[in-house]
Structure formats: structure tokens, C-alpha cells
Amino acid sequence: MGSPALMVPSSLPGLPVLRAGPLSAGSSPSDCASPGVGEGYGQHIIDACMAPSLSVAPTDCAAPVAPGAPAPAAQPCAPAPAAAQSKLLAVSPALPSAMSRPVWSLEDYTISRRLYKGSSSAVYKATCLHSGVAVALKVYFLNRLPVNVVHMLKREIEIHSQLVHKHVARLYGAFLDDSQRVVLVQEYAARGDLFHVMQRLGGRMPPEHVAELVLRPFLEALSYLHSRGICHRDIKPENVLFTTDWRLLVADFGVSINLHHERAVTRAGTEGYMAPEVERCPLKADPQENKDKPQLAYSTAVDIWAVGCMAYELMVGFPPAIARQQDARDAAAGSIGGFVANEMTAAALHFPASIPQPARDFVMAALSADPAERPTAAQLLQHLWLLQAAAAQAARRAAVAAAAEVQVSSPIPMPVPLAMSPMASRMVAV
């Protein structure tokens, strides 16, 4: 089944870009292949046709001059080979000065190993030769990307490059290395993702550690994103990373959207973490499809639902089994019917006896069927469970410091009991 052609915008509005020529692309319905699924760090649900290659406008250059001969006047020449072309698409407003330069290229990096390989992208660990900073290079092969993914890639660069927060993975910059590859230079997280950390800890974490090590820094980042109108739309343990010193980072903005600029009306994200109002949205063949249907629009409350799913999974060992009623998936169904069905199912969630009541209340509040009833990220930061966990940690640290008559700090930012237990050595060994 084909889909309408998409004219890729020639620029990314609002980006601090440096260009030597515009990006442009076009196609006709006959150029499109069958719908496909884009791949990246996360598994995004996308329905689209294959995109044409981006073309780079030629630049002026001078002809070669023999030694001792007078230089001729500059004149237009044929485009240089694709491998020699590089266009800086975006840079972070907080880019380290050692990484700042007018021209970016893959030749600026020493690549040590591949971290991920998909059908249309790959991720590599690399070192910036200018600064010595370890980075992750996310490379997209444009001739393999569906049209919707090209649109989403531009949106990802526009959104992610402008985010500056200690708990948001930094996108240092993005550039077009040649006519077929877009490279995103990201902050490298040496400890890996939360899902694999959790597996190394036995498949789940104590509730107090979930509250302090994960949810508090995560919600600080989410509150920052939501204050800027950014809806992440793919919150899950795999998209939570840790640096060498165990600083938590929210990552993968591949399906994120700025609600200040457009409506969110797409069924996007990962199964098991989608809010009911997301699941009732249809897949799309064109980025502008259904934008004129306000009844489909959802808010940043979908991220709060995913936070509830993630909190439950971290404590219990698997995501909440919330059965979806058919009317919750039907875009034409009344919202109340769908939400009530989901609310009844969520209310029946099983919690192990080891999960304290405040933690259960936190999860159930985040999984409120009506999005208007879900707390905001800022409100969840003030939830009783998180406040109690913070107070308990502070008391334990004070007690340990008093007993040793020195201030004892954990080698990683986690509650003292975990840092003093065998679990800490397992976590450090990740």
C-alpha cells in the first residue's frame, strides 16, 4: 500500500544552523516503496514510504593553479564528490568550546566500536579528535529512510539540539556528512541503559532506590521538557542512560514533539507504555495527516502514564499488564468509554507485598485513566513517596557520616544502603 509523497522542508525553523547550501528533496507516489518501520535506539511505530535522497547544492570553487602561474578569477565548478561535502545542521547552545568548529565531518572522530546497527541507522562509540571527548555517533542513511522518518529526524534535531539540562543526554551537534548520511553527535553514556542495569541487579530494584536513583532525576528532566512543550512519547527503561559517574540521562528524542508548534495526533511510542489516548490514534502515512482533528490530540500527560508503567516495572520486574479494550483503540469511540475500561483494568494491578502504599499510590496516580487527572511531572516530584525516600536517604547519609566522623559519599549517586551492599559492586561492574 503506497502513501502520499512528502516534500521535505528545506530548513529546520528555529535552529542555529550553519549552511553552505539548502537541503532539498522531493518524490512522487510512484517513487515510494511499501510502508516500513524506522529503527533507531528505540522501536518507533511508523507508517511511511521510502524517502528520496537529499541533494546538496553545489558551491563555487576555483580551478587548480600551476605553481608560479597567476590565479584565475573564481568561477562556478562542478559539485565536489559527495564524500567531501559536509553541512552543519545544528549545534547545542551549550557546546563545549573545545568541540566548536565551523566544519564538522566524520573525519573529526576516531570510531572505536559499533553500539547498534539497524536497517537505516547505526550508532558508534567514538572520540572527538579536537577535544578528546567520548561521544556517540548516531548515523542515519537517508536513502534507506521512510519519508515520515526523514520528517521526524528533522524534528528530532530541532528539538534535541536546543535542550540543556543535566539529566537530558546532550546533542552536541548534527551535520550532513554527504548527500546520504546525517550524523548526530551525542553525549556518550558509558554505563548503558536502565533496562540492562536493572537486569544486572536481578530484574528489579527496591522501591526506595527506584524513587531516589531513577524517578527523582528523571522527573526533574521531564518537568524541564514539559515546561518547554516537549512531549517525549517514548519513555521506557531502554531510553534512560547512565554516565560513568551514574548521572541519569533521558535519551532518544526520535518521536518527540513540540506541542507549542503542532498537535500530537499519532499513535507513536512503544507497546506497553502507550497511554490509552495514544493507542486510539491511527497510524499515519503523511506527517500532516489528522492534524485538523482536535478530538485526537493528546498532551504531555501521555508521558506521565509511561512514567507509571516504568516505575511499576522497575519495582515488580515487568511492565503492568493493562488489558486494552477495543473501544480504547478506536479513534471514533467516545473517550469516556475507553478510559473507564482502562481505569478498571489499572485498578486491578497486582503489587507485591514489598511495595509500600505510597509507591502504589504514585503508580496509580500516574496511570489515571483520564489524562486530566494525572499529576504533572512537577507534582510527582512532590509526591509523598519521593519525599519520604529523600528524607530517609538524607537521614541514613547523616547517620553514616556521624558514625565515621567524616562525610561518606557513594561512588555512584544512589542511596547509602545500596552503595554499601553487594548490589553496588554488581552495578559498578556494568
CATH of the domain at 150: 3.30.200.20
Per-range mean pLDDT, top range of 16-20, 115-119, 155-159:
155-159
- 17 lies in a domain? no
Query: Do the bridges between strand 240-242 and strand 248-250 make them parallel or antiparallel, or are there none, so unpaired?
Result: antiparallel
189 is in an annotated binding site: yes
Q: Identify the domain boundary among 187, 219, 251.
A: 187
Q: Is the pLDDT of residue 297 over 90?
A: yes
Mean pLDDT of 4-25: 32
- 30 lies in a domain? yes
Average pLDDT over the chain reads: 77
Confidence bin at 148 (pLDDT 50/70/90): confident
Would residue 286 show up in a list of annotated catalytic residues for this protein? no
- 15 lies in a domain? no
Same domain, 119 and 183: yes
Q: Is the pLDDT of residue 125 over 50?
A: yes
Confirm if 264 and 233 have CB atoms less than 8 A apart.
Answer: yes
Residues 78-104: b if buried by 16+ CB within 10 A, e if exposed: eeeeeeebbbbbbbbeebeeebeeeeb
How is residue 8 written as a grid cell? 521535505
Which of 177, 193, 234, 303 is labelled catalytic?
Answer: 234
Q: Identify the domain boundary among 142, 158, 187.
A: 187
- 66 lies in a domain? no
Same domain, 206 and 320: yes
290 is in an annotated binding site: no
Confirm if 324 and 333 have CB atoms less than 8 A apart.
Answer: no
pLDDT, tens digit (0-9, with 9 covering 90-100), for 232-265: 999 999 999 999 999 999 999 999 999 999 999 9
Least confident of 39-43, 166-170, 404-408, 418-422: 39-43
238 is in an annotated binding site: yes
pLDDT, tens digit (0-9, with 9 covering 90-100), for 208-228: 999 999 999 999 999 999 999
Same domain, 107 and 128: yes
Confirm if 238 and 193 have CB atoms less than 8 A apart.
Answer: yes
Q: Is the pTM of this model over 0.75?
A: no
Q: Identify the domain boundary among 164, 187, 210.
A: 187
The residue length of the chain stands at: 430
- 62 lies in a domain? no
Mean pLDDT of 27-44: 31
In this prediction, residue 420 carries a pLDDT of 37
Same domain, 271 and 407: no
**Angle, CA of 312, 318 and 324, to the nearest 5°:** 80
Burial class (CB in 10 A: 0-12, 13-18, 19+), 370: middle
Nearest Cα residue to 175 out of 15, 380, 404: 15
pLDDT, tens digit (0-9, with 9 covering 90-100), for 45-80: 222 222 333 333 333 333 444 445 554 444 443 344
Same domain, 238 and 365: yes
- Tell me if residue 280 falls in helix, strand or coil: coil
Higher-pLDDT residue of 328 and 85 is 85
- 311 lies in a domain? yes
Report how far residue 267's alpha carbon sits from residue 274's, in angstroms, rounded to the nearest whole number.
8
Confirm if 249 and 189 have CB atoms less than 8 A apart.
Answer: yes
119 phi/psi in degrees, rounded to 5: -70, -25
239 is in an annotated binding site: yes
In this prediction, residue 360 carries a pLDDT of 97
pLDDT, tens digit (0-9, with 9 covering 90-100), for 311-353: 999 999 999 987 655 444 444 444 433 444 444 356 678 999 9
Percent of the chain topping pLDDT 90:
56
Same domain, 274 and 394: no
Same domain, 217 and 300: yes
188 is in an annotated binding site: yes
Report how far residue 400's alpha carbon sits from residue 381's, in angstroms, rounded to the nearest whole number.
26
pLDDT, tens digit (0-9, with 9 covering 90-100), for 353-405: 999 999 999 999 999 999 999 999 999 999 999 999 999 989 888 888 888 76
In this prediction, residue 120 carries a pLDDT of 83
Percent of the chain topping pLDDT 70:
68
Which residues, including other chains, have CB under 8 Å from residue 358's CB and lie 6 or more apart?
383, 384, 385, 388
Report how far residue 4's alpha carbon sits from residue 30's, in angstroms, rounded to the nearest whole number.
9
Which residues, including other chains, have CB under 8 Å from residue 236's CB and lie 6 or more apart?
42, 195, 270, 272, 273, 306, 309, 310
In this prediction, residue 418 carries a pLDDT of 44
Task: Fill in the DSSP letter of residue 314.
Answer: H
- 233 lies in a domain? yes
Domain count, the chain: 3
Tell me the residue type at 47. Answer: D
Confirm if 66 and 156 have CB atoms less than 8 A apart.
Answer: no
In this prediction, residue 379 carries a pLDDT of 98
Same domain, 203 and 265: yes
CATH of the domain at 304: 1.10.510.10
Confidence bin at 408 (pLDDT 50/70/90): low
Range of the domain at 86: 23-57+82-187
DSSP letters, 294-311, are GGG-B-THHHHHHHHHHH
Same domain, 373 and 399: no
373 is in an annotated binding site: no
Helix and strand numbers (H, E) in the chain are 13, 15
Same domain, 141 and 246: no
Confirm if 184 and 269 have CB atoms less than 8 A apart.
Answer: no
Residues 287-325: b if buried by 16+ CB within 10 A, e if exposed: bebbbeeeebebbbbbbbbbbbbbbbbbbbeebbebebb
Mean pLDDT of 80-92: 72
In this prediction, residue 323 carries a pLDDT of 60
* Cell 566544519 sits on residue: 103
Same domain, 373 and 224: yes
Report how far residue 384's alpha carbon sits from residue 316's, in angstroms, rounded to the nearest whole number.
20
Same domain, 309 and 221: yes
In this prediction, residue 402 carries a pLDDT of 82
In this prediction, residue 321 carries a pLDDT of 81
DSSP letters, 36-56, are ---BSSSB------BPPPPEE
- 405 lies in a domain? yes
Q: Is the pLDDT of residue 7 over 50?
A: no
236 is in an annotated binding site: no
Report how far residue 264's alpha carbon sits from residue 244's, in angstroms, rounded to the nearest whole number.
35
